Amino acid sequence: MELEAQATGSTRQRFRLGGLRLPIAAAGLLLATTLPSAALLSQAAPAAAATSGSVSFSGHGWGHGRGAGQWGQLGYALEGGWNANQILLHYYSNTTIGSTQDVPIRVILTANDGSDIVVTSSSTFSVAGTTFAAGSEVRMHLNTNGSWEIDLSSNTTGCSTTPTWSAVGTVAQSSAVASPNTNAYSTETYSNALAVCEGGTPYYYRGQIAASSYNGSPRTLNVVDVENYLRGVVPSESPAYWGTLGSTVATGTSAGNQPAGFYALMAQAVEARSYALSSMGEFGYADICDSAYCQVYRGMQGESPITDQAVAATAGEVMILNGAIARTEFSSSTGGYTAGGTFPAVVDTYDSVCVTYACNPNHNWSSTLTLAQLQGDFPTLGTLQGLTVTQRNGYGDWGGRVMSITVSGSNGSVTISGEQFAWDVGINSDWFTFTGTGITLSPDSAAASTTPTSGFYVDSSAGGVAAVGTAAAYGSMAGTTLNKPIVGMAATWDGGGYWLVASDGGIFTFGDAQFYGSTGGMTLNKPVVGMVSSPDGKGYWLVAADGGVFTFGDAPFVGSMPGAGETGTATSLAPAAGVNGYYVLTTQGNVYSFGQAPSVAGASSALSGLPGTLVGIATIPNRPNPKNT
């Protein structure tokens, strides 16, 4: 895949990484799999030829969809007008932005797994404490007893395809380290950096090259500080030229004024830094790998001046979750809705970005596979007979991503995760539906419909909650000393819970209502006066008396009254039906529409005839329950 045309989206990565070694230590790659019985797995008889036919898959996104989507980040920067922090806090809505110190990181150079470690440099360098002349070629060879033999090649011009070695000495693993002739890794160039020789080709890295072993097999490590490591990661994950797209903005950082696309690179830098630092010690002998299994790192070959600036502009910035650095997974394209998990699922409005030189090819995708191809991916099941989706996550088209799917054959069946299925058959993501011929196909999960109920809740300023009619009570704040009075509430889409909000923006959750964040720890210009849930219940909006709108979870921010120049008092807000937008009502009788919320003719005249003070606004829903789509 051309990096200049596509984001790689590696952490907890795309599918089909052919031949990639998957260490047991990194358990986040695939979801749990329910395997057939041992008897079924032991059957070795070849399956009968599959019935003629095919299955056509339609889907969204590229990769697992957890955390940020790289194409969406670019879209939010170019089309949404968001800065890097807004982008980060949208995708990782239950985190905060913090800072940390620069530390060394040990990176596995996976292409050299199992091979001798051969290094060179255009300047003098040292290996295991011995200094070698510029152009020398030095090998670290793992002995069967665990020691490392240091050998010098007769070649004196860098990497050779046919070196002749002579022994220099033997050292313990802790001493098998090659170092450049400088400690200033940030200013290294190709003239004084170390190169690892692979097949006679030099690959340059800042910092040291260290030898290690894994189950008796040699491993090559690049030991470098995190900030310099990121210089080789960010442009390997998000194309550097993205930072040249869009109108000029003032970043407020050391990078100064930059094109708007630069914000996407800044966000990528923070995500990559957080992910790396959350991985420390993951492999035992190393912290992280250089492949798409972790996040792509190409050393000095991958660096770009544009992304160097993005790394420097965000130096030390990390995302914090529950007091620790968050494991900020990201993928190339979410398809329009993130998958949820550690970070709440959110609408990815701009995943479909398509501007000159940057058009997401995987927002929507399709793929057709013959039954013979599919059967070949599940050889123990015999003749392929059916595909049945048994669970979806409820976010977006077709009921969302496939959480589990049953593959049936003449010898039995297996139920696996949608992510595992996508990996096995080679499609882009686990957000898909399908049609076809020759086998039984059931793309819709058997999720039960929810019958509308006749009931409602009423809350009080002291935190009391009354459940009326068929509404079920899940608790209240009654009897609890509150910092500020309760001013509003919202119910979840399924009637299984609710939120209470206080005037300081503190959120209290009950039942299946999830906490997505609050303004409880913020200094507000005006008190919060109400809240509403996003249409699918995976987020909420708060509105303050000055019309300021605060968004959490998948509730998108698309504007507020302070930005519109309104000086009146806001009383409530309501989501616009079926689109990314909302309305804010003021006591002066004005209704402000934001985002894609359409203005409604005749509002002023209709409101002018109402007696008393205007206190609330609600909209007419026009889309089905997201769990039953």
Helices (H), 2-124: 38-42, 70-78, 84-91
pLDDT of residue 498: 85
pLDDT at 628: 34
Q: How far is CA 106 from CA 192, 251, 276, 388, 604, in A?
A: 20, 31, 10, 43, 64
What Cα–Cα distance (Å) separates residue 591 from each residue in 256, 554, 582, 594? 38, 23, 10, 10
| pLDDT score at 536 | 66
pLDDT for residue 627: 37
Q: What is the pLDDT of residue 448?
A: 37
CA dist 56 and 440 (Å) reads: 13
Please say whether the beta carbons of 618 and 532 come within 8 A.
Answer: no
Q: What are the percentages of helix, strand and coil residues in the chain, rounded to 5?
A: 20, 30, 50
Residues 50-98 pLDDT 10s: 568 999 999 999 999 999 999 999 999 999 999 999 999 999 999 999 9
Through-space distance between the first and last CA atoms of the chain, rounded to whole angstroms: 34
Question: Are 442 and 405 contacting, i.e. CB atoms less than 8 angstroms apart?
Answer: no
CA dist 93 and 552 (Å) reads: 6
What does residue 85 show for φ and ψ, rounded to 5 degrees?
-65, -40
CA nearest neighbour of 328 among 284, 288, 276? 276
And the tokens for 568?
């009146």
Query: So what's the pLDDT on residue 556?
Result: 80
Evaluate whether 442 touches 389 at the Cβ level (below 8 Å). yes
Report which of 319, 187, 307, 310 is spatially closest to residue 253, judged by C-alpha positions: 310
Q: In terms of Cα–Cα distance, which of 85, 425, 115, 139 is closest to 264?
A: 85
Question: Which of 438-463 are b and which e, b meaning 16 or more Cβ less than 10 Å from the residue's Cβ?
Answer: bbebebebeeeeeeeeeeebebeeeb
Closest CA to 78 of 258, 260, 252: 260
Question: How far is residue 194's CA from residue 491's CA, in Å, rounded to a whole number?
Answer: 60
Classify residue 137 as left (phi > 0), alpha (psi -120 to 50) or beta.
beta
Residue with tokens 């009391």: 464
Nearest to 106 by CA among 248, 290, 308: 290
Q: In what order do the strands lie in the sheet with 402-409?
A: 412-416, 402-409, 384-392, 440-442
Residue 276: φ, ψ to 5°: -65, -45
Residues of the chain with pLDDT under 70: 1-6, 10-51, 446-454, 470, 493-495, 535-536, 563-568, 577-580, 601-606, 608-609, 620-629
Q: Are 579 and 563 in contact (CB under 8 A)?
A: no
pTM of the complete model: 0.70
For residue 232, which of 320, 285, 319, 303 has the smallest C-alpha distance? 303
3-state secondary structure of 528: strand
Rounded Cα–Cα distance for residues 183 and 195 (Å)? 16
Nearest by Cα to 502 from 490, 520, 517: 520
Residue 173: how many other CB atoms lie within 10 Å: 16
Spatial CB neighbours of 52, under 8 Å, sequence gap ≥ 6: 371, 438
Q: CA 129, CA 120: separation in Å to the nearest integer?
A: 15
The whole-angstrom separation of Cα 618 and Cα 227 is 49
d(CA 426, CA 216): 33
